[in-house]
Amino acid sequence: GFEFWKRLCAEHGINPEGILEDFATEGTDRKDVFFYQSDDEHYIPRAVLLDLEPRVIHTIMNSPYSK
């Protein structure tokens, strides 16, 4: 799940803080399919993927995407 969201963020120009990068403001890609736009600049994933394995949780919590 972590790699999936990481890849989606990269493809749509969304940084780890959920803010749209300048280069991604142009175009017609459908960010709203996977992300909810909470305000003018923040995007939040529309799904929550759970994994209870401690190693996976530790990896995600210590990554730039933990916020």
d(CA 62, CA 7): 17
pLDDT at 55 exceeding the cut of 80: yes
Whether the CB-CB separation of 8 and 34 falls below 8 Å is answered with: yes
> Which domain covers residue 43, as residue numbers?
2-66
User: φ, ψ for residue 24 (rounded to 5)?
Assistant: -95, 5
Of 23, 18, 43, which Cα lies nearest the Cα of 33? 43
Our count of domains for the chain comes to 1
At residue 61 the predicted structure's pLDDT band, cuts being 50, 70 and 90, is confident
pTM, full prediction:
0.67
Cα atoms found within 13 Å of the Cα of residue 52, Cβ hemisphere only: 0
Quick one: which H or E segment has residue 44?
A: strand 43-45
